[in-house]
Each structure stands twice: as structure tokens, then as C-alpha cells.
Structure 1
Amino acid sequence: MIHSGPVICQIYHDSYHHVSTPEEGRLLFFFQLEGSASVHLGGTVLDVQDSCAFIMPSALSFRVRGRGRARLLDCRISYINSLLKSSIGSALSSLLPSVKTGPFRAYCLSGHSVLRLEPLLDIISEETGLKRSDYLDMIHFQIFEILILLRREGALSQADIETWSVSQRVWQIEDVAEFIDSNYDIPFTLEELAVRCNLNPSYFSRAFREKMGLPLFEYINRMRIGRAVQLLKNTNLAILEIAMTVGYNNVSFFNRYFRKLKGCSPGEFRKKILE
């Protein structure tokens, strides 16, 4: 979760569970440099298969999961506004969406732009962390160059963005598996996934098992338990909180399925790790 704080801007690296709730005074720049992502912007869900960038106003809820290399630049609006008061910044102000009303801006990134962007974002991350003399000026220059690169690419039209919409294309079984891998914590039904593939539920269920080697809900539960194992190893979250985080509303079912796959309860598993 992204929280407000005294930092004027912050870079988040390759974390595939970025979440932002609507909050005054912030602007988010998301860059998918390589790989794919499931991007939730307000009520819009996009299945992004290309290198891309999004600029999002604080009024818009945002969630992303995916694979590959990504960066999230989280900036205070007051800081961005100070940049735009300069002669260079004023020429770039039209790139930014309205802070309070949106809509978001989306860009396809060429290979050249990806090569240029990643070092700029790394410099912002380094300067923000070290806070050496004149670090704000260094960050200014990197953000200016990022905005210029995006202006060169040109914002996508609404029609272009619609091609990423999950409702606009028929999925293959591999798409379903990738969607589950990225969104295992949210509820969905066999019927919903079958509709995505334009198949009836019975045929979809057989096709999924043949392709993935497991029945659909066995596949989903294995994904969830795998993530729960990581949380048990790497966090101090309570068992109930872990169950909810990975998509189980019933902790008894979570405990039962965990024992089925791992031979012990989640609590016993954690105890073994700590011994």
C-alpha cells in the first residue's frame, strides 16, 4: 500500500502488487518496462502485454499485478506543480491529467524509450534515498526528461486503450492461467473465466485441465497456498490475515487445504521455520 508522507517523490521497484487508494495531492507514474501486467484503474481493467506508461491522478484508485520489470513513481502534486512553474515545465503541463478528475493518460513505450527511461528512474530512486546536495535539482531534470520522452511517444487514444481492455478480446487458456497467477486473491467463478474464453463451462473446465495439468480450482488453491507459504516465511502476519490476503474468506477451509498440500497446519509450518 502506498501511503502519504514527507517524501516528495518515491520510486517503487518491481513489486507486483502496487495498490493506491484515492488520495488528495498525489500523482502516480507507472512504467511497465518489460513483461505484462493486469492494471486496474478505477473501474477499468486492462490486460497490458506491451511496454507502457500510465500517468494517474490522485482521485483514481489504482492496482497493478504483473511480471517483468516495472517502476512506480509516486509524487506529491505540490512538487510537480513547482516543476511546472519553470519555463520548461510549463511547456509540459499539458501532458498531465487533471489532478482531481483525471482521466489517466496511457502511452506505449518504444524500445528506445524503455532504454532511456530506466536509468532516469534509477537516478530518481538514488537521489531520493541519499539526499545529497542539490538532489532536488537532479530529480527535476530526470522528471523533465521523462515527460519529454512521453510527449514524443504521444498519449494513446481511448480507442487504443480499449484494445487492452480485458472485455475486448477472447482469452486463451494461457491467458486464464496468467490472470490467476496475478489475481489469485480475488474471487472469480468457473463461469466468469469460461465466458472470457468464449467457451461453455464444461468444455472450458476440461480444456483447462488438459492444458495446465490440474483442475481449475486445484490450480487456484495451489497458487494461493504457495503465496501463503511465502507470507508465513517472510512476514509476521497473523494466520487469519494471511488467509484473507491470499483470497480465502474462510480460515477453516484455508487451514484444511494448507494441511492437505503441506502436511501440517499454517501455524505448525511457521513454527518449524522458526525452530
Structure 2
Amino acid sequence: MIRAIIADDEPAAGIVIRHLVQKSKLPIEIIGVATDGQKALDMIRAKKPELVFLDIQMPRMNGFEIIQAEPHRKYIIVTAYESFQYAQQALRMGAKDILLKPVEYDTFCSSVGRAIGWKFTQNDMTNDILEYIQKNYAQNIEVNQLAKLYYTTASYIARVFKKNMGTSVLAYLHGIRIKNAIDMLENTDFGIKEIAERSGYENLNNFYMHFKKATGYTPAAFRERNLHISDTISIKDLIEGPEDK
């Protein structure tokens, strides 16, 4: 899981980045938001994130000073068009990419890809499995199948994935699938059966079981309540499930 910080003095920018992180279903966890440069630097030094979404023009300390102070972090510059020339200077200082406000979803995903690729952990096989699940979650995926794909044993994959992600392959897979189902329940008119199939569940009872375990509701009850939580709930939340369930 990539730990990330948002450093921007515009609260709306932080909200948009959080929304795009959730929508992308990428294993990124926002661990802090800072609204001025000094707070951002203090937070970076204290929490040591792997990725920072960084505005250039902020009170107390600008983005250039932050990069100079902590040059070994991965920075994505998030800036308005009128500051684009300044952002180019940040690239010369080592920033990985530039996102122009208002940030669009496809551009965001491409930018994260350029900044970190699929290197969400220190283990290459785990990263490959994360990418495979992201692209194929609607298909049948089993640990034995992954073992054949990566020329190793199922027990080895299970052990390495758990060590690097803190959860099992199947728990992570179900988290991705349920997140996708939530998005469709909120934003489409698809029936429950079609949503289940598009999310990778051929068995409707299996879909109901995993959905309720993750959210505390059946899919139909979730849609009826119109909860609209897709922008705030993470894959980690769905893996852990609701409190007091």
C-alpha cells in the first residue's frame, strides 16, 4: 500500500484528490493533508510517505522549498495553469509529474502510473499481482492460478502477499470487487445480478455474502438507502468490513 500526503492550501483540491484515489481503486492510502508548506514538511518528515501530491504556491513555505528539504520523496505537482512554468521547474528538481487543476480522472491515473508505476510495495511479485487483480478482477482469479502464472507455489504467494499488503490475496480481491459493485450501485441502473457478474461474482449468493460482510448491508438495501459512500470508502475499509457487524 502506497502511503500518500496531500499538500495544498485549497481544501477543494484535497477533496478532489481523495475522490480520485478512491475512484481509481489503486492501493493508495491518504495518511495526511496539509494546508501550508511548513505543516506539509513537518508531516512528510514525521510520516515518511512514499508519494506526495504537492501544490507549489502555499503559505509559509512553497513547494520548491519542500522538494529541496525532502528530495528523496516521489512528488506529483498539482497546480493551476498559470503556475505551469513553476511546475516545470519542479520537474527539473526531481518531481515525477504535473497535474493541472481541475484534475481529471484519466490524467490522474496516468500521472500516478508515471510516478510509481505499479511499485506499491518493495516486492515485485506482489506488485505484479496487484496489477493483475486490478485489470482482471471481473474474471475468475484463484491463488493456484496465480501460482502457475508466476511459476511458484500458492503457499509462497499467500505468504509474500500477506507480508507486503497486510491481508490475503482473496481478501484484497473481494475488496476490489465490492468497491466496483458499490460504484455501480450508486452510479448505474444495472440490476443486482448484472452488477454481481460485472464485479466478478458468478454466484449471486456469494456476492450477497461478501457485500454484506464488507458493508453491513445487502446490495438492494444499500441501493435503497442511497448511502453514496464510494468517494470516502477505501479498499482497506471494505477488507476490514463495518464495525459492529
Relative to total residues, which structure has the larger helix share, 1 or 2? 2
Relative to total residues, which structure has the larger strand share, 1 or 2? 1
TM range (shorter): 0.3 to 0.5
**Normalising by structure 1, what TM-score?**
0.38
**Normalising by structure 2, what TM-score?**
0.42
Higher relative CO (CA 8 A, sep ≥ 6), structure 1 or 2?
2
